[in-house]
Structure 1
Amino acid sequence: MIGPSSDPAELIAHLETLRSEENAAGMARFGIVTDRALGISNPDIRAVARLAKRNHLRAMQLWRSDIREARLLALYTAEPKRLTPEEAKNWAHDFDSWEIVDSAADLFVEAGLDELIPEFAADEREFVRRAAFAMIAGAAVHRKGETDTPILSWLPLIEAHSGDPRNFVRKAVNWALRSVGKRNRACHGPALGLAKLLAESPNKTARWIGRDAARELSGEKLLARLQ
């Protein structure tokens, strides 16, 4: 039986028993890298994480396995308060899938590693840059009780990279802009203003991001909620 005392090898052996080749094939259709995947669903990986509990050193070891499910388990069981910027950057070097990036972004936000956002955004690698905007989106949604100042300070970063046409970047930039705008009334106006500005851009990607975000941020249900 797996539990808090389980070592990386035991956890990976347990994951192997949950392998599903059929699920792995299905994941590939959603753009998930499956070269080193066992085909285990996220709810099932989270169930393993709940049994294993958090253990930072073990999470570092799980990550080095290069197995999709083990890396997700590492992200779910790492200790945010112990995660250092250097460790986060080392993990970012291995990013090769939007799914891993978005889960890592949640952890990085929980760990308070906001200083990595501009550094990741400046990185030319597609998945590292995506991490910056996934972090912005996550912070906008999850830090409800905190000041809006840092959230709004990332709008220029969103504007600066709104022309990146790569699929996993442009979708994350769009996601970040919409998340900022939906946060509350104070954030809505500046985000909608940027969306409308981008909607008129001569750049095709920026124009798509702006129009899509403006459409959602102008929706009646959202405006009613923000009143």
Structure 2
Amino acid sequence: MTTTEKVVALMRRLKIEMNGAVTDAMREYGGGTQGYGLNYGVSLPTVKDVAREYAPDHELAQALWRQDVRELKLAALFIDDPSRVAAGQMEAWADDWRTPELAEQCAMQLFWKSPEAGKQAAEWAGLPSGEAALKRLAAFYMFGRFAAAVETVSDSELSGWLDDARIFGPTAAERSVVYALREIYRHRPAFRMRVTALLDRVPDEVAGEVRWQVEYLK
């Protein structure tokens, strides 16, 4: 099959899974349905199950991302080859984010596995708050994934990011900051005291949520 034929086949498969209830739930809980030309309301696990049959295929992932269809963009994340995802692609896709869902899923499912992920996350997290909200949101989700990847991301790499005052500071109010700090505390015992200290630097609402979640983990 050509790349174009694969795109068409995937769209047909995913359209069969159309679910209006998922679309309604996205709207109700703030996930948002606007920003997509088409939205079939297919759940993420279903998209993943359908997409895995085509992975890895870097060229197909690029073609899928160019489609203005929610499910095809999400499928691209499970089909792409992370080893071929460079900084230029991450920037280009980020410029196309029109919903928090895409920012979160790009970070959690694909970008964090890229060889250039650490540098990219640090750059995005250091951007001015409000001017690049979705990039910052993605950055902290990536940090959380790094923390859990104890076999591939060293303590020394994580230490450098924790020491960067631009990243975890008074403007770090994104909901993904809670995820990042919780995951660092959970998977990197050596950094628990540093996480506790960081809670004095981040916004109070973030610190309070992290403290609650950390207490639950004990």
- The TM-score with structure 1 as length reference comes to 0.82
- Does the residue aligned with 2:118 lie in a helix, a strand or coil? coil
Q: Does 1:132 align with 2:131?
A: no
Could you tell me which residue of structure 2 aligns to residue 189 of structure 1? 193
Partners of 1:5 and 1:215 in 2: CA distance: 49
- Does the residue aligned with 1:39 lie in a helix, a strand or coil? coil
Q: Is the 8 A contact 1:180 1:191 kept in 2?
A: yes
Q: Could you list the per-position Cα deviations for residues 39-74 of structure 1 after superposition, in whole angstroms to 9, with x for gaps in the alignment?
A: 001111111012222211110010111211111100
Alignment RMSD (CA, Å): 2.3
- Does the residue aligned with 1:163 lie in a helix, a strand or coil? coil
Give matches, 1:87-98, under 5 Å: 87-98=89-100
Partners of 1:5 and 1:70 in 2: CA distance: 13
Partners of 2:152 and 2:89 in 1: CA distance: 27
Q: Could you list the per-position Cα deviations for residues 144-202 of structure 1 after superposition, in whole angstroms to 9, with x for gaps in the alignment?
A: 45421221222234423x4255xxx2x1122212221222221111111211x23xxxx
Runs of 4 or more above 3 Å deviation: 143-146
Q: Is the 8 A contact 1:5 1:52 kept in 2?
A: no
Question: 1:135, CA displacement in angstroms?
Answer: 0.7
Q: Is the 8 A contact 1:158 1:173 kept in 2?
A: no
Could you tell me which residue of structure 2 aligns to residue 225 of structure 1? none
Could you tell me which residue of structure 2 aligns to residue 119 of structure 1? 123
Q: 1:176 to 1:34 in 2, by over 3 A?
A: same
Q: Is the 8 A contact 2:147 2:188 kept in 1?
A: no
Higher RCO, 1 vs 2 (CA within 8 Å, ≥6 residues apart): 2
- Does the residue aligned with 1:65 lie in a helix, a strand or coil? coil
Give matches, 1:1-227, under 5 Å: 7-35=6-34, 36=36, 37-106=39-108, 107-112=110-115, 113-121=117-125, 122=127, 124-144=131-151, 146-155=153-162, 156-160=165-169, 162-165=170-173, 169=174, 171-195=175-199, 197-198=200-201, 206-217=203-214, 219=215, 221-222=217-218
Any gaps of 5 or more consecutive residues in structure 1? 199-204, 223-227
Partners of 2:153 and 2:84 in 1: CA distance: 21
Could you tell me which amino acid in structure 2 is paired with residue 40 of structure 1?
V
- The TM-score with structure 2 as length reference comes to 0.85
Q: Is the 8 A contact 1:28 1:34 kept in 2?
A: yes
- Does the residue aligned with 2:203 lie in a helix, a strand or coil? helix
- Does the residue aligned with 1:7 lie in a helix, a strand or coil? helix
Q: 1:220 to 1:11 in 2, by over 3 A?
A: closer
The number of equivalent residue pairs is: 207
Deviates more, 1:151-160 or 1:98-107: 151-160
Partners of 1:19 and 1:88 in 2: CA distance: 28
Q: 1:96 to 1:143 in 2, by over 3 A?
A: farther
